[in-house]
Amino acid sequence: MASETSKLPDAIATSDEDKRWTPLRYTARAGLLSELGRQTYDTLYKSLREALLNGIDAGATELSLDFGSQQPDTLVVYDDGEGMTLEGVEQSFMSLGGSSKYSDATKFGRIGIGSLALLTYAREAILESKCASSESSVEAQLFHPGTLDRAERRQPLSEFSAGIVTERPYVGSPEDHFTRITLRGLAPELRSVCEDPSAYFSLVDQLRRVLPLPMTAESRLLSALSETSPDLVDHLVSHCESWSTPVRISSPFQSDAMLSRRTYGDEPGEQWSGQVSPIFKTLRAVMPGERREIVVAGFLVNQRKASPRWSGLTARVQNVAVEEQTFFGVEADPGFRKYIAGEIFLMGEIDTDRLININRTSFNQEARDYEIVQRYLMSELETFKKQRISQPQRSKVGLRRSIEAYRVALEEIARVTEYAERVMEETGVKALPSSKNGSLSYAEEIGLADLLPASDIDFSTGEDLRRGDYEIVQPEGAERFSVTVSPRLAHPVLNVLGKEYRLAFRRGRQSGPPVIVKNRPREIVFNLGHPAVGEEFRGGKAALALATELAFVLPREQDAAAFQDRLFEFISTV
């Protein structure tokens, strides 16, 4: 008993020497199995990821998933790893906790509950495994513990029968080695993947984003990143290559396909604005008696059109996604955060045992490594949000407002000319006479691009525009905005009495006329230097100046009273 009490805190062990202490032990019951499986592997793709990682830890060079292509209502997970003996199945595969892979930096697993991953989604599992140089294989039948009733859940775990196992002669080469798990009696979520192509391809897309698959520089995003940070791309490709294993997948909808890595930008609708921002930093974790280096590598992009499933960062350790859609504590400005997408790899001397939570889908925020990485990434995210999202957004809004004001001005001017045309038709006028009040031929010609506030734009005219009149984008890899407008905005034309008049803008002297109507060539010219029009082109001022000019040039009796009446008529249309 002395040995037992010596393990107790001194304050308790010595508080009352007359008392005799009895050690306490945990009593594990069968109900623990369903809770561990359900809460640790709460989504199908996380369970599949765990099963595949176990195969990689077993030394597999290739893995495969078969969703009912050979037999309906089954899932087969296969790896060509080292396999298991009967003792390995009993002592390692069926153990709960105490994994031999704990603190092994070369392995993915570390907890020791991987046998529960797939059983969460099926009624039973058939396990077949063989080691090289063995003439026998192991076969086990496991039952789903989630169907236990109340009495069964209270059964001591040491007495609970999770299945049966046997060893039998192997027909085949003694050098074969593998592990095959066949799930039967699939849960509805898993059965739908075998029967519904939409559910199947959605799952495939998730697996491509979280599994340790190779990264190739041929992807569109990495190609853009390599233009500014080739060393970073080489580092990422090399890291992923050392932590990846090929995965084949089959189903009634797809036969023996090799899973490829999924990166933002692989689909046509996934486009980003501006340049890809690289992240490549070595951080130091310094504690008493310990000094480690953590490498943070990856990239950030500004989504042109926010996609909820890509908003935020995918954080990976050992090339496996741990957290998805995370911002490492940056909570401000959700309107801007939704445009941020990216991928972050934590490399180097990572303390994975403390950093990664038991479900492998989140970080332990109290871990020292997380605090160090979070502090750095919060700063990077705030800078990226300001420079790559907030500032371009403000510039884009300014451009949009300017074009909208210009478009409204053209509509106001068109309304005035339509009114003038009705007046002329009533009086039998055949054509619009030219002004006799001067010329602006000397003035500087002004185009729409000159009226926009931003100087860092590329201006062009296009027919096929998604917004109808104009489109403003920041192309991938570019710092400047690309502004494309329809011809009716870039080269506006007004129709008066069946004749087309080009609408032109010139910056002339303040003493010059505000507007001139010309017939050779047919033009209606605004003087942007005149106070009646204003340096900032606005529909009200321009339309008022045009109304005054048209009231003057219309061939009616040229007396002051008549001119004043016509002027008031035109002004009332503005």
For residues 210-231, average pLDDT: 90
Whether the pLDDT of residue 28 is over 60: the answer is: yes
For residues 443-460, average pLDDT: 86
What's residue 416's pLDDT? 87
- Asked if 216 and 226 touch (Cβ cutoff 8 Å), the reply is no
Q: Which band of pLDDT confidence, cut at 50, 70 and 90, is reported for residue 252?
A: very high
According to DSSP, residue 292 is labeled: E
What's residue 209's pLDDT? 94
What's residue 101's pLDDT? 55
What's residue 112's pLDDT? 54
At 364-391, the pLDDT tens digits run: 999 999 999 999 999 999 999 999 998 8
What's residue 239's pLDDT? 95
What's residue 116's pLDDT? 75
Q: Which band of pLDDT confidence, cut at 50, 70 and 90, is reported for residue 430?
A: confident
Which strand (E) or helix (H) includes residue 75?
A: strand 74-79
Whether the pLDDT of residue 438 is over 70: the answer is: no
At 531-571, the pLDDT tens digits run: 888 766 777 888 888 888 888 777 655 566 777 777 777 66
Q: Which band of pLDDT confidence, cut at 50, 70 and 90, is reported for residue 529?
A: confident
What's residue 289's pLDDT? 85
Phi, psi of 262 (to 5 degrees): -105, 120
Give the DSSP letter string of 488-521. HHHS-EEEETTEEEEEEEEE--TTS-SEEEEETT
Whether the pLDDT of residue 355 is over 70: the answer is: yes
Give the DSSP letter string of 163-203. EEEEEEE--S-TT--EEEEEEEEE-HHHHHHHH-HHHHHHH
At 178-213, the pLDDT tens digits run: 999 999 999 899 999 999 999 999 999 999 999 999
Nearest to 526 by CA among 543, 541, 506: 506
Share of the chain above pLDDT 90, in %: 44
By the 10 Å C-beta count (0-12 exposed, 13-18 middle, 19+ buried), 92 is classed as middle
Which strand (E) or helix (H) includes residue 570?
A: helix 560-571
For residues 507-516, average pLDDT: 86
Superfamily per CATH, domain 31-195: Histidine kinase-like ATPase, C-terminal domain (3.30.565.10)
For residues 245-252, average pLDDT: 95
pTM > 0.85: yes or no: no
Written as six digits, the tokens of 328 are 């490492």
Q: SS3 for 63?
A: strand
Which strand (E) or helix (H) includes residue 136?
A: strand 136-143
Spell out the CATH class of 269-389.
alpha beta
What's residue 558's pLDDT? 59
Q: What is the distance between the alpha carbons of residues 517 and 178, in angstroms, rounded to a whole number?
A: 88
Phi, psi of 128 (to 5 degrees): -125, 130
Share of the chain above pLDDT 70, in %: 88
At 79-126, the pLDDT tens digits run: 999 999 999 888 888 877 655 555 556 667 655 566 677 778 888 899
> How many H-runs (helices) and E-runs (strands) does the chain carry?
19, 21
Whether the pLDDT of residue 436 is over 90: the answer is: no
For the chain, the residue count is 574
Better-scored residue on pLDDT, 553 or 68: 68
Q: What is the distance between the alpha carbons of residues 285 and 294, in angstroms, rounded to a whole number?
A: 7
At 262-316, the pLDDT tens digits run: 999 998 889 999 999 999 999 999 888 889 999 999 999 999 989 999 999 999 9
Whether the pLDDT of residue 248 is over 90: the answer is: yes
When the pLDDT of each residue in the chain is averaged and rounded to a whole number, the result is 85
For residues 155-176, average pLDDT: 88
Domain positions in the chain are: 31-195, 269-389, 395-455+487-571
Q: Which of 75-79, 107-111, 452-456 has the lowest mean pLDDT?
A: 107-111
Whether the pLDDT of residue 16 is over 60: the answer is: no
What's residue 1's pLDDT? 46
What's residue 428's pLDDT? 77
According to DSSP, residue 159 is labeled: G
Helix-, strand-, coil-residue percentages of the chain, each rounded to 5: 35, 25, 40
CB within 8 A of 178, min separation 6: which ones? Answer: 78, 79, 80, 81, 83, 128, 129, 130
At 500-511, the pLDDT tens digits run: 999 999 888 888
Torsion-angle region of 98 (φ positive above 0: left; ψ -120 to 50: alpha; else: beta):
left
Which strand (E) or helix (H) includes residue 98?
A: none
Better-scored residue on pLDDT, 451 or 538: 451
Q: Which band of pLDDT confidence, cut at 50, 70 and 90, is reported for residue 450?
A: confident
What is the widest separation between alpha-carbon atoms in the chain?
A: 126
Written as six digits, the tokens of 333 are 């400005």
Whether the pLDDT of residue 2 is over 80: the answer is: no
Better-scored residue on pLDDT, 4 or 442: 442
Which strand (E) or helix (H) includes residue 343?
A: strand 340-348
